[in-house]
Structure 1
């Protein structure tokens, strides 16, 4: 019945009104209508449940698809914006031509042709992963592209499917990604300059049909086209591209030689005459005034463009380079960094507080420091010849780090989270901050100085929690050996203590399930050693004494409880056992803390020697000789 109803409702061209009218005519009364309504409702519930299960099963696929769509949308927006701005600035520069002489089509391509060539090259970004550096070369455009099959030169067997892109100066080979969804179907494999390769036609013989060979020392690659026509197109395109590039290179060399010769001749014969006569010419003054006016107008256009620009740091490269060429390096640097500040704020605002604090902090650190790394690399490319701007970048990076630490501290230090989680979050921030060293920027010291106040407070809070727990547990202390009931539980405890660095703990076990210490002593030991490990993850030279004093305060608090027990009359017979516990804390555990501290810091903490005096005082309070249990 349910399957028949599903087929009826799922037919193409289903009309609900006709179906309802037909059901009303066939039914005997209200009861039949209610039953049919219930069947429809049950079908709706089943369909909804199946849809939810389908969404749940394909949840990761939906997430990946959404990420890819978002990435493609961002890239397309950026490319569209760059192309539109390129067209606008080219039109503006043509209108502002000083000589008002138009170039003939033979000398240069029209703006429309340039835009079409740039658009063809932009398809690389949509199809090929990892080829962004290919599109960064000025004047490079796409000539021919298509799918080929790569064959083994020796066995003539198929190796892989590839997509080949022929540009005016190079040949790029990309491999096919079979499992990838979305517009990106290829992965960058190799880029060969046309000057360094040779193309050899291969006669059709056996499986070697429609094939040609590309020789690039020391490699030899064989490609097979899908038809003789496609092969001929590839051979003709490669031959024409190599000839065009050779002719263009030859023209450039000739023009360079002529320019150098003309410049040398002018320098030798006319330099003094020019400097003496031309500066006083009214025509030159007018010329300079017009140039200054055009430069000012173009600078304003570029500044306005850079202020409203969105996208990655590469999107701002063209406007920045134009401003630098106009002698406005300081303004370009300021606008570029301001633009990146807004981009970082947008990226951080998009992060949502979902799940645990560590998950959010991990995303926060990754987004911020990855963006800073990208900005630094782009800054080095754009301002490589302007060393004076480097100090501005360092100041900007310090300011952005302060903003990041503000967000970081609100999530990590404002909420009631454990010291272990604080240590994990700070460790994430330090690890991501170290990545900036790739661009020669070390902000570790600045990060530590911004976090030191909050880290000190977190250490004090962790110490206070342990001290409070010691005082609370001491009121229930009976000074009896710890019975773990089963040998298995005892072995697990021994292993835990050995993992914490107490290798001799097994000697305290007897009768398979007994430990010669109180349960509270073992708890204090576990808390103290974990506290030390967590604090060492947060260690900074400024916090050296804070860590030492906190450890000493915890140990002395435990010693104070033992001192109280030694002075109490009801525990007179337990003095040997109390001293046994004191010896374990003040000698074994404290020695482990000293070794751990020296391993991490590189120098011993002499202040821990004072704890031996406290232990001697406890021994003096014992009224009976200390003996082993």
Structure 2
């Protein structure tokens, strides 16, 4: 009450000081209401600008119509100065009032808490007064009337013409029977509803983890209402934190949240976060504001929690339910207290004849003694001996002395003896109950002091074990475990904060692993020597899991989130694994947990690394002029004489570095990701090269250089990577074997694409325009006939291409042979045999023209003989046959054509005339411009 009065006086004082400040501000505003701008005589009321309906246009028309331009400029400048002055005044006012605003807010908060405390005190005072009045009614003086039960049939007093002998009329009896039936039905419905609520409460304990720890199960607890429509809100910033599940029991309110699933899929289980008894909290309806709507405030001094929902109807329903449940809980507690008081008074009055005791089965001392009551042990007694009673009376003082002198073992021993004495009593008298409560109070103090000793991080192993044994003997095993493990967690955090980071992240993680896993190992050793029960192991494993997750969070923040390279990642993981192996000495193997915690991070790091490698390869191809570079000055493990482009060397370096980094993390769990990364790199590189070949502006040397890169990657580099990965994983790599097959097909496709494109460019240019070569001459062919110039130019171009082909790695024969086949295919196209002006007619071929065509074909095949395949010979025969057929269809001449010997003779003669240099097609320093 004194605190409440003091808070009220301080709030009133702050209100008076604020009132003085408001009066000062008001007088200053009145002085500034009217201003004369620039000595113009124009009196402008500043208050006019504060009107919400202020119109600048109307104001100017009314106040400034006859002023000169200089005066208007002066007014404008002065108004601007007034605006700046007002802004500065507003800022100063905010700064001046901010501290007072904070102080007032704190005082209001304190006042609100004090009012709640006062409300509780008034409620307790009311209960005490009612209990005293009822007790006074029971304890009357002798001779006064005392209500006693009346035996025999009940007498009903009727007030409207009933029989004086007390006999009720049949209609009234029927109405009474109907009322009794309705009452029985109503009672049955109520009992069924209570059973359903009890069953629902049991189900809540099954689905909410940690609820039994915050709210121990009770057979009379019922679930009244639950919802997931509320969200927790920050009391300072009003930002929404998380959704929560509310459970309203008959005596408590529980808040539960969703725990994140470790597998990352589906909803996680609910975890109990807060629990309040309904008698300890106050629920306040919050008015809607811009910051929060549909909110309610739950207060338990000195904490305040805010929750909101989306619909106002839900809030109203829950406020009503909370008020109803709180009222019913208060009434139930009052009835229990009153019944206990009456029973105690009646027992004291009739103790000599018919003793009646208050049940104390909920006492910690009684709980432990009742366990195994019918087992072998001390004989049960109706009363405590006078010697034991005297000893129990003196025991609280002795326990106070033991606690003060910190003689905990003696105090625990005396407590055990007291438990044994009280456990031998069948029925507990009020005197024994008062002694038990006094002992329990000392036991609570003793447990608190021992708990403080246990929580000391500087305690030795022997001290920790002794304190845990003491708490176990007091029946506080769960509390001992939680305190011990919490102290060890605090020790880990303290030691981690002591680590110094000097820039070497690998050294820092190594030291972090030593600290964390060493303390976990020591904790496991101490724990197993102190807690012998197997039921305690689950709590310790949960603690170990939590600490490992904390370590993983630090590791993730320093390594993965910072984007460290894979060499650093591998070194840090290796240090972590080595320290985790030390836990095997105490029976713990956490490698699987570490692998699970870091798996997603490692996979994401591999993905990011693969993307960076791919981007580097793409950038190198974009900058590469696509010219052959010798391997003498490149990587030392490449064979001598290798001829590829600079981008191929870059790709080689990138993949080798990627391989070296991945080899540090080779595990079966990473097999799929590592192999898929290599597949993506090789497939992406080959695809880019294949797409580059389709560029029509490419030169022959560039296309051939790209083909060299493809052959090197598919035939040399990829098999080497497959062999290394097979050795690392100790298994075949079918994904890369399949890619090898695809790569070889891609090389063949690139070669064919180039040959098709090159043959098309030759036949559609001035080099060899086969469609426009004139073979229409009907004159006889000369005995000294030579091949046409188009054929000579074609051979010269093929020779130039063949000279540029690097062999190895390219197969010169396959490329030139494919090019020759594609040229012959173009010559066999129907369009090549159509009339240039009349598409529906065949091109004209005369007597001399058809023989010139055969001579050109023979000469072409003879010069390119080294690269002519059987298929090319067949297509050449088809070209000659088609030309002869067109000639015979259009000419009826019976003049004989030249035979094959003549063509062979002319071909050899032409080659000899050219100096025989055509016999060295595709070799360097060969001149094909003979005459």
> Higher relative contact order by CA 8 Å / sep ≥ 6: 1 or 2?
1
Please report the TM-score for the alignment, with normalisation by the length of structure 2.
0.34
Bigger Rg, which one:
2
